[in-house]
């Protein structure tokens, strides 16, 4: 028998969202008439914007003609999309990220999970807690941790608790780490980091020769234009940060799949002999070996989100979800719940009532109100005592969820 990668046996239970899916299916089978409202996984619900549908149709017809047919595309992404990203997400905001520093992919989940491959197996990892589970699990799989303790925290990973006291945005640790994962607007807490917080992290990274892996998958949900949408708005970040952004939530691409990672030319890692290697070169090498990029049709669809019409239509969708977030936030807070997030992010971070554990509240919510959330403890031990509600659903369902919760707790 072939030996397995034993690091996988260190992982706790299954991945969070399939486990929730399993519990909800079990409930739905036992209660076939229950009208279940799913505010668990953050999956978009509005149909694709017309500008995107049109781009998909046009690109499909193009591929069906002898002149327009294309096979494999460039691994890093087509120039038309790299240029559109560089112009719209960066240069129009006075941020310098060149097309050749951008790598198109099929999702930020993949990118944030795969990026660790270009780092040494002994690199020390730092995460906030609660945390998007992909950052931790992929490093555990790669052998960068010991076993987990009774809180579910893995040995050799630095955890920084995100609490109400620190506005769910912990400051950098007093110790060094090689890689720190940051997510702003944050999944799951909905907190957002301001310039001062990001500056502190960039300063820490530079003085510790660390790399920041900055997940900005929810950047479009920031409602205050003075808040940073990109780590590269911070001076010095070009020397120490890698950024991930996604079309999933901001343009409804969770099914279409398109995202990208930006790695400035100035971010280096070190070989064991101390010589420097550009991280962008390593990622490019990894990308071209393991990935054939995103389909042409999907890249054209992503490009269409930057057209004037595409921007307007997708912004309107973001506004729709953020109005849902407002309804959840205000409704539940008026009903007496401790509510955080939901102002610059499509997630509401809700304190469980009556001192219930996250999973007990999840079960009670499902059984009494038929509303599905995500237990905060599923994102880490500091998420215990919280539940995450997603604003991705119809207005009617969101209103109905608020009134069911109000009436049952």
Least Cβ distance, residue 397 to ligand MLT (angstroms): 16
Q: Taking the complex as a whole, how short is the minimal distance between the CB of residue 112 and ligand MLT, in angstroms? A: 9
Query: In residues, how long is the chain?
Result: 409
Q: Checking phi first, is residue 359 left (phi over 0); if not, alpha (psi -120 to 50) or beta?
A: alpha
Closest CB 356 distance from ligand MLT, rounded Å: 21
Residues with Cβ within 8 Å of residue 18, at least 6 apart in sequence: none
Structure tokens at 182: 């940051």
Q: Are 103 and 290 in contact (CB under 8 A)?
A: no
Closer residue to ligand MLT, CB minimum distance, 135 or 204: 135
Q: How far is the CB of 319 from ligand MLT (least distance, A)?
A: 20
Cβ-based neighbour number of residue 75 at 10 Å:
17
Query: Helix 358-369 crosses helix 395-408 at what angle (to 10 degrees)?
Result: 110
HEC states along 15-50?
Answer: CHHHHHHHHHHHHHHHCCCCCCEECCCCCCCCCCCH
For ligand MLT, give the closer residue by CB, 95 or 193. Answer: 193
Could you tell me the smallest distance in angstroms from the CB atom of residue 41 to ligand MLT?
4
The rounded distance, in Å, linking the Cα atoms of 189 and 345 is 9
Q: Which residue is nearest to ligand MLT (CB)?
A: 42
Handedness of CA 201, 132, 277, 281 (dihedral sign): negative
Residue 250 CB, shortest distance to ligand MLT, in Å, is 12
Tell the smallest beta-carbon distance from residue 185 to ligand MLT (Å). Answer: 12
SS3 (DSSP) at 379 = helix
* DSSP structure string for 77-130: --HHHHHHHIIIIIGGGT----GGGEEEES-HHHHHHHGGGGS-TT--EEEEES
Residue numbers of the site for ligand MLT (CB under 6 A)?
Answer: 41-43, 109, 187
Task: Count Cβ neighbours within 10 Å for each residue of 389-403 and write b for 16 or more, e otherwise.
Answer: bbbbbeeebbebbbe
Pairing state between β 157-161 and 276-278: unpaired
Query: By C-beta, is 86 or 139 nearer to ligand MLT?
Result: 139
What is the closest distance, in whole angstroms, from the C-beta atom of residue 255 to ligand MLT in the complex? 12
Strands 241-246 and 211-215: what pairing? parallel
Dump the DSSP string for 315-362: HHHHHHHHHHHHHHHHHHHHTT--EEE-SSSSEEEEEPGGG--HHHHH
**Minimum distance of ligand MLT from residue 207's CB (angstroms):** 32
The token pair at 57 is 């149709």
Residue keyed to tokens 């619900």: 45
**Residue 42 Cβ vs ligand MLT, minimum distance, rounded to whole Å:** 3
Tokens of 167: 């506005």
Q: Which is nearer to ligand MLT, 78 or 135 (CB)?
A: 135
């Amino acid at each position: 028998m072939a030996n397995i990668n034993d690091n996988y046996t260190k992982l706790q239970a299954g991945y969070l969202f399939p486990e929730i899916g399993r519990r909800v299916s079990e409930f739905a089978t036992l209660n076939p008439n229950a009208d279940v409202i799913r505010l668990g996984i953050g999956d978009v619900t509005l149909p694709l914007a017309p500008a995107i549908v049109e781009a998909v149709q046009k690109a499909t017809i193009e591929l069906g003609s002898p002149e327009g047919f294309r096979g494999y595309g460039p691994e890093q992404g087509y120039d038309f999309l790299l240029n559109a990203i560089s112009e719209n997400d960066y240069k129009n905001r006075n941020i310098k990220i060149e097309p050749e520093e951008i790598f198109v992919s099929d999702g930020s989940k993949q990118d944030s999970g795969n990026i660790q491959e270009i780092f040494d197996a002994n690199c020390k990892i730092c995460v906030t807690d609660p945390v998007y589970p992909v950052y931790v699990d992929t490093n555990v799989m790669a052998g960068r941790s010991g076993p987990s303790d009774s809180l579910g925290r893995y040995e050799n990973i630095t955890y920084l608790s995100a609490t109400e006291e620190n506005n769910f945005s912990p400051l950098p640790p007093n110790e060094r780490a090689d890689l720190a994962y940051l997510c702003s607007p944050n999944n799951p807490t909905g907190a957002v980091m301001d310039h001062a917080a990001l500056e502190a992290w960039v300063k820490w990274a530079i003085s510790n020769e660390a790399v920041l892996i900055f997940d900005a998958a929810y950047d479009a949900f920031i409602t205050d234009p003075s808040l940073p949408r990109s780590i590269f708005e911070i001076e010095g970040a070009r020397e120490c940060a890698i950024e991930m952004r996604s079309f999933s939530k901001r343009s409804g691409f969770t099914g279409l799949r398109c995202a990208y990672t930006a790695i400035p030319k100035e971010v280096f890692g070190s070989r064991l002999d101390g010589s420097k290697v550009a991280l962008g070169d390593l990622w490019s090498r990894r990308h071209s070996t393991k990935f054939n990029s995103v389909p042409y049709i999907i890249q054209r669809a992503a490009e269409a989100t930057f057209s004037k019409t595409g921007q307007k239509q997708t912004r309107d969708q973001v506004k729709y979800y953020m109005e849902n977030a407002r309804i959840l936030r205000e409704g539940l807070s008026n009903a007496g719940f401790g509510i955080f997030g939901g102002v610059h992010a499509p997630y509401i971070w809700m304190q469980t009532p009556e001192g219930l554990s996250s999973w007990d509240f999840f079960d009670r919510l499902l059984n009494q109100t038929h509303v599905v959330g995500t237990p905060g403890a599923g994102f880490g031990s500091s998420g215990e005592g919280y539940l995450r509600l997603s604003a991705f659903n119809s207005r009617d369902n969101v209103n109905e969820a608020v009134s069911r919760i109000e009436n049952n707790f």
